[in-house]
Structure 1
């Protein structure tokens, strides 16, 4: 469909919570396809609607495509039921804050429910990189970016290094 511009920090749209999206919205299939097209073009593993300026509850992920086996997934109106497991601190990057990886601590298991494009409902647990990517994109739907996971001192240092 189309590759859209990715909003860069400190664009205010990145700090706003998203609204539930109507599954009957005729623009929804194109939005999901645009999210995938934009994510792949930017060499990302996930992308949320606010990152392209759309304040709707939808994100896409594909954590395996870089290894050669695509597994594209769209999550519409996602609901996190549980985030559990062990704390795992890793470098994360964000397409809206390019070129600035930062340490983020997340739990390594998430249980999620979501709507699908066909109107059906799904529910499943995810772990590993999938869980991390889902939590990252879910954060975007709530107006949270990876700067928000830093201590005040670390955030100030990282923001000073960031040059959009």
Structure 2
């Protein structure tokens, strides 16, 4: 399903932004399921955290996979635990949440505590991609003398 916007003019005139346009088009696609609810938290300048409310799920019920700039969190809990419920209001259905990760974002860890799954992320920009200051070189003394001598000869 395509979005309401046509990105084809931008695709024709830009190079290397295909993934961005794919993400924009996919953002309108979905089943509308917002389970489990989550928060995105900025912990520091280059540190983030995703908090998912996964009440009733154990560590063994949750699978976290990071691949190709995407984080996938899946949960599957068996319904049969031998308990005879009169009413079951705590959701135990399967879920899959996908998060698009920017370049150089890495998952550093995950923790499950009090029904809240916290996934830590950090942006690690390679040294070669960081801005650097370029020194401006000047003419050497010998080179400057040659320029000065030529200027005198023509005068």
Instruction: Please state which band the TM-score falls in when normalised by the shorter chain.
Output: under 0.3
- Give me the TM-score of the superposition, normalised by structure 1: 0.22
User: Which structure has the highest helix share of the two?
Assistant: 1
RCO greater where, 1 or 2, for CA within 8 Å and sep 6 or more? Answer: 1
